Amino acid sequence: MSIKLTSRLPRIGSGMMIAFGGLVALIVLLCSGQLVGWDQTWRSLAVTPLQPHFYDMHVIMDYAACASKGFDAYIPHSCNTENFNIPPIWLWLGLLGLNGSHSTWLSVAIIAAAYGVVGCLLKGRSIADGALAMVAILSPSVLMGVERGNLDLLILALVGAAALIYDDQRMGRRLGSIALIGLGIVLKLFPMFCISLATRFNRRTWLFTGLIALLSLAYLTVIIAYIPLIRYNVPATFKVSYGYKAPFFGFDHLRTEAGLNITALNDTWVPILVAIATLLVAAAAAAINFYCGRACTVSNSVAGRAFLFGSGIYCGTFLLGTNFIYRLMFLLLCVPQLQDWQRMKSDKMRRKIEGLLFATILCALWLNGNSNGITTFLLVPQLINWLLFFGLAAVLMSNLLDSAMPASSSASGESSMPP
């Protein structure tokens, strides 16, 4: 009897751990918020809070309500102390009668959607994997997006769902995945970097990424007049930011604090030349890995697709210049594949490389956060961000070689066969 009862008990795995961890985190946040206040609660988690609650969603809704009354949302500070720097489609919410008072429930909805999708990507693993995933999910970088009710949470849900439903062999699911990523592009543009799936070199993925690229170009053409306005309204800063220009802004900040003249290197070719040099070194590392090691081989699975989407978005946004660290939440898409690598039986060197990449992602998620991040520049996290850019770029290029070389060999073999 005891054996039968035991067999009916649910298996405690990563899905259960993530659900339980999320519930506990929510209860702790609510209780702490009541006891010590919103600001102190978030600062204790190394997150710089802003008022009102879910600040970023308030900015969007304030401009949407304002634009419905005839104001130009792209004029700086026309409807809020922050600038409006996202595509104009969000202004349509004002036509539906939505305004700042709806910010809380909209924020809660996108937080729940993002958490649900990430949970689905991570389910089916061990309880230890679930606990390690919670370490990444509860990092300051991710929690900053939660505290602000940032729109990137919705984009994370869309891209993660696209990874879940994509299937090379089923046209309907590929089209559904394209629709989700396409919606993400319309809402926030940068999901166009999901073309990183093209590093899995085959006809279906190239068709998929080709359609994503065409959709991106078509949409950019439609809103071309708004692109300079959006770019102008996006702050370029070292403050709680990552990107290839961020450390150069920070270096000048440190010089200013020391009473020295600024170098203004961020306005020169130096940052982009450093980025190009990093990519060249990553290409060399990818070639060495392809011919010698074959570490970090991305699987043809949900975990593999999520990894390609997440690493593509990180590398692509890194090259945009600067991004607030809540965008590091897309690194959560890489976690399932990283955990799968740790379970595989492979040689010691491969496991070390894959483990180092996992550790670098966790460090990026945790060390970029700072409770006084609005004014503090931290050099070590910036170095880690560059190391991660190098590592993920190398993995993408290595996997492109790994999938393209057999494809090329197969194609040449077929062409040499007699009719």
Residue 8 lies in a domain: no
Hey, what are 241's tokens?
A: 């930011």
Predicted confidence band of residue 56 (pLDDT cuts 50, 70, 90): very high
Residue 217 lies in a domain: yes
Q: What does the DSSP 8-state code read for residue 223?
A: T
Q: Could you report how far apart the first and last alpha carbons of the chain are, in Å?
A: 67
Percent of the chain with pLDDT over 90: 73
Average pLDDT over all residues of the chain: 90
Q: What does the DSSP 8-state code read for residue 235?
A: -
Residue 411 lies in a domain: no
Please report the pLDDT score of residue 257 as a whole number: 86
Residue whose C-alpha is closest to residue 283's, from 404, 391, 206, 357? 391
SS3 375: coil
Predicted confidence band of residue 414 (pLDDT cuts 50, 70, 90): very low
Peptide bond into 271 cis (omega under 30): no
Residue 5 lies in a domain: no
pTM beyond 0.85:
yes
Domain range for 58 is 13-24+33-406
Model confidence over 282-326: pLDDT tens digits?
999 999 998 887 788 999 999 999 999 999 999 999 999 999 999
Number of domains present in the structure of the chain: 1
Residue 338 lies in a domain: yes
The 10 Å Cβ neighbour count of residue 102 is 17
Q: Which residues pair with 324 in a beta bridge?
A: 241
What letter represents residue 59's amino acid? Answer: V
Hey, what are 91's tokens?
A: 């202004």
Model confidence over 87-98: pLDDT tens digits?
999 999 999 999
Residue whose C-alpha is closest to residue 354's, from 290, 296, 297? 296
| Concatenated DSSP letters of 121-134 | HHTTS-HHHHHHHH
**In this structure, what is the dihedral angle of CA atoms 241, 246, 252, 255, given to the nearest 10 degrees?**
60
Predicted confidence band of residue 109 (pLDDT cuts 50, 70, 90): very high
> Are the C-beta atoms of 13 and 125 separated by less than 8 Å?
yes
Q: What does the DSSP 8-state code read for residue 69?
A: T
Measured at the alpha carbon of residue 18, what is the angle toward residues 15 and 21, in degrees to the nearest 5?
Answer: 145
Model confidence over 137-171: pLDDT tens digits?
999 999 999 999 999 999 999 999 999 999 888 88
Residue 415 lies in a domain: no
pLDDT at 357 over 90: yes
pLDDT at 2 over 70: no
Residue 93 lies in a domain: yes
Residue 103 lies in a domain: yes
